[in-house]
Structure formats: C-alpha cells, structure tokens
C-alpha cells in the first residue's frame, strides 16, 4: 500500500524536449531546488503543487496522481507562493482572517464558524512561529514583511499538510525572521513533514536541505547530496559545467 505521505515524481519532463526524471520525496525529507532564473525550478515546484501539468510523466501523492491544485491540496500538499503581496495575503482582511481562510472547515460548529476555535489555532501557531502582531484583528498590512510571511506559513500549517512546497520563503525577510523560519523548517522535518524549498540563495539551499536538485534549460541537471552538496558543484551544474 502506498505511503499517504510520500510524494513521487515519475518520468516527469518539464518540456517535450527535456529528458524525464524520477524523484521520491519521503516524510522528513527537505529537498532544495536551485538554478538560474527561468531554468525550470519554478515550473517544477508548480507541477508538484498541481498548478501546471508536466509535459510528460506524472506527480503522485500517496499513490494517487496530482491533477490540479485543488486535488493536490486535498491530498496534503501545501504551496507557499514567492510573491506574498500579490499571491499570498488578502490586504483588506485582518491577520486572523488571512490565517483562517484556508482552513475554515476546521472552525465549523453546527454550520457556523467558531472564532474561538480559529483563535486557539492561531495562538498556537503564533507562538511556534514567533509572529509579532499587536492584535489578530488588525489588518495584515500593518505587519512587517517577515511577519506577513509567518502568517502565510501559519495558514498552511493550520491545514495539517503532509508536504510543504516553499517558493523562496525567506525572500525579502530580515535575518531574525530567517532564523525563526529555519528553526521551524527543521522542527517540521523532524516531525515527519516533507519540505521542498526553492531558494535563490545557494548557501541557504545547501545548509537547509538534505539534497539539492539543480535545474538548467528546463530539466534537472544535477542531484547533489552529502559531500557533493557544495556551492562549487551547485554553481557548476547551474552553468552546465563539471565541478
């Protein structure tokens, strides 16, 4: 029986001309995605999220194909977009409503939303993520960029996902927020959650992830683990050279 928490990439090619590849992402894995801008790592992450179908092959979660974003979410895959301002936050809504919008069903009590339930979940994740917010009822735009990012991550975690897909999650946040996010990512992996982290910073991908998949010309050009997971090898793979 297929493991419900295992994400598999089977014969996936991002374009018709690209060579296919396989990958298995097991519970507790932290996988890094690297590459020059526009070379396929974003597209691959979107394939995993059900936002874009691969040219060939399939993405499978728990033995069932991922065919859409809704289907991926229902199977336990959660996606954090890169641009939180245009694709993440709802600027006209409060912190608590931004947090709870993706997990409303958890708050239903006899057909009505229980704000007590929502606030309890928010407070638990606020503490875990060290969210600094004077009041959850204030507009989310009143928070710093780093705290907005933490609220978006809390929104995903409130759904109890099995896989987190993170598109440059530390982009535009301060050092203190980065440290919090790194700690939380490691804790989540230790608890059995698997993470796929697209990072624009090579050292971040190397330090945070168990293995790094490097993309070039819309295909995976290298899979680096252990002693091979170095900045020199990542850069060489990004430019199509041998390290």
- Domains with residue ranges and CATH for the chain: 1-76+162-243 (3.40.50.300), 90-160 (no CATH)
* pTM score of the predicted model: 0.91
Q: Alpha-carbon distance 167 to 1, whole Å?
A: 31
Task: Report the C-alpha dihedral over residues 4, 50, 87, 177, rounded to 10 degrees.
Answer: 40
Per the structure block, which two tokens stand in for 107?
A: 């708050």
**Alpha carbon distance, N-terminus to C-terminus of the chain:** 40
The pLDDT of residue 167 is: 95
CA distance 117 to 127: 16
Using DSSP's 3-state secondary structure scheme, residue 61 falls into: strand
Distance, in Å, from the CA atom of 88 to the CA atom of 47, rounded to the nearest integer, reads 18
- Quick one: pLDDT at residue 103? 76
pLDDT of residue 1: 39
Tokens of 235: 């850069």
Q: Which residues of the chain have pLDDT under 50?
A: 1
Neighbouring residues of 207: CB distance < 8 A, sequence distance ≥ 6? none
Which tokens is 1 given?
């029986």
Do 40 and 17 meet the contact criterion of CB atoms below 8 Å apart? no
* β-pair type (211-216, 219-225): antiparallel
The residue behind tokens 């946040």 is: 173
Q: ∠ CA(131), CA(133), CA(136), 5° rounding?
A: 105
Whether the Cβ atoms of residue 28 and residue 190 lie closer than 8 Å to each other: yes
Residue 129 has phi, psi (to 5 degrees) of -95, 0
Say how far apart CA 84 and CA 125 lie, in whole Å.
19
Q: Supply the pLDDT for residue 108.
A: 61
Q: Report in angstroms the alpha-carbon separations of 124 from 71, 121, 130.
A: 27, 5, 10
């Amino acid at each position: 029986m297929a493991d419900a928490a295992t994400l598999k990439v089977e014969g996936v090619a991002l374009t018709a001309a690209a060579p296919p590849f396989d990958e298995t992402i097991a519970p507790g894995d932290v996988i890094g995605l690297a590459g020059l801008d526009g070379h396929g790592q974003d597209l691959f992450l979107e394939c995993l999220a059900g936002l874009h179908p691969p040219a060939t092959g399939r993405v499978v979660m728990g033995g069932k194909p991922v065919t859409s974003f809704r289907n991926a979410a229902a199977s336990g895959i959660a996606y954090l977009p890169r641009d939180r301002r245009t694709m993440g936050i709802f600027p006209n809504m409060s912190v608590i409503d931004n947090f709870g919008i993706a997990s409303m069903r958890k708050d239903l009590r006899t057909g009505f939303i229980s704000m007590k339930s929502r606030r309890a979940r928010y407070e638990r994740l606020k503490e875990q993520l060290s969210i600094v917010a004077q009041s959850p009822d204030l507009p989310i735009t009143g928070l710093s960029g780093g705290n907005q990012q933490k609220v978006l991550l809390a929104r995903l975690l409130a759904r109890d996902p099995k896989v987190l897909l993170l598109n440059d999650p530390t982009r535009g946040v301060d050092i203190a927020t980065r440290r919090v996010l790194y700690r939380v990512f490691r804790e989540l992996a230790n608890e059995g959650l698997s993470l796929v982290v697209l990072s624009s910073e090579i050292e971040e991908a190397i330090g945070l992830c168990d293995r790094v998949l490097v993309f070039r010309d819309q295909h995976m050009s290298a899979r680096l683990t252990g002693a091979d997971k170095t900045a020199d090898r990542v850069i060489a793979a990004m430019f199509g050279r041998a390290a």
